[in-house]
Structure 1
Amino acid sequence: MMTVNEVSKIAGVSIRTLQYYDQIGLLKPAEYTESGYRLYDDTAMERLQQILLFRELEFPLKEIKDIVDNPDFDREKALDQQIELLTLKKEHLENLIAFAREIKTTGGRKMDFSVFDNSKIEEYAKKAKEEWGNTAAYKDFEKKSAGRTKEDEKQLWSDFMQLFAKLGEVKNDSPDSAAAQSIVKEIQNYISEHFYMCDNKILLGLGQAYASGGEFTENIDKAGGAGTGAFAFEAIKAYCK
């Protein structure tokens, strides 16, 4: 765990900014001390990296929150998009530098304004934002989460993790056992009721995330014991067949 001061120094983000991110729900600490100090774990730091990459690309905070909170959020896909956008931005800056140097070297006028055109970057960024914000699952998620308080969200997440705690109790059984399959059905129903309609295709995609080694895996393994995330994926694959 790291304190807010340590995170501020490591990430180059002011303490006030981190406090603001917490207030708007963009970056919540892993926990708070009894004195109310913020503590951040590796999962929170991974999320901060995503936020800062999107900030480098000048995404508004609300849009960043919408993207990273999206139930379809795929870290690898986001990184691919960020790499592409950063590459386009790098090429744009290199063209501007070359243009300025040419003017300095020739000492003359160069009536060419095409080098200032960044429409390619804007178009790609627009497309990326639309991909995250226009999915049916996300629209369903927005509708079902409307009006929920932070306490409501906390309770929903706690109840959801209890299902993985149950799954952890049978993780030494076969993934296609009746007990495991029954719990997978409970997970699917819970997601559909409280978050968004979870068909088998979406469930299978979530199963991959549960075993990917990221934030989902850490939380699931914390609830059901080491290996629960991987077992959940195998049980989901069996269920979706």
Structure 2
Amino acid sequence: MKVKEVADLVGISVRTLHHYDEIGLLKPEQTSEAGYRLYSDHNLEMLQQILFFKELGFPLKKIKEIINRPCFDREEALKFQRKTLVEKRAHIDKMISTIDKTIEHMKGSIEMTNKEKFEGFDFSHNPYEQEARERWGDEAVDKSNAKLASMTKEEQKVMQEEMNALYRSLAALRHTSPESDEAQAAIKKWYTVLNSNFGIHYSLEAFKGLGQMYVDDERFTKSIDQFGVGLAKFMRDAMAYYADNNK
């Protein structure tokens, strides 16, 4: 199949396929005398793998590394992807249920406790671990995982509740100035929590960079803004101000 045919079949752009070829992620089986990229059934199978990993949030660099390993097993990868997508679906279903209940609560049809309003939010795992490894290296992530693994379930629950409480308190301040004393006191607590619970130390500059990522990476933005629209930007500005004024 020619590149345009593959693009139309899959629903992605020709430019995306060209990019995959350029970075060595998916090279076409052959190129015709006229210079057309020609894709085989095997290429399509690998493209399916790439798109499944991409749907799960894996960066292209990591996908390339995985599928080019000599021990790569396509069936094993599919089983992993299915398991992960089922877990993702269950998480999304729970979030949708919380939204439906919240709408009914707003109409006065039902009553919701504060705890029920946040059912479905789960910060006990890190969905961005692969990207974290790419950005900061294995050592930092392994230290963080080791720290979490050493905690009991009760300790992890307490930590999660502490972080959720901080998100909520910051969300309540998001329409005020991020430079205010109240906002800075809350963001100082956030800095302390990050450095106390994950086995690594964020320098002030790294803390500022993390805040910028809350806005640059839409996955972080969506996750944080579930506590209040605009919270990610507010935290970024508050974290930057805190870092610049505490050097």
TM-score by length of 1: 0.49
TM-score by length of 2: 0.47
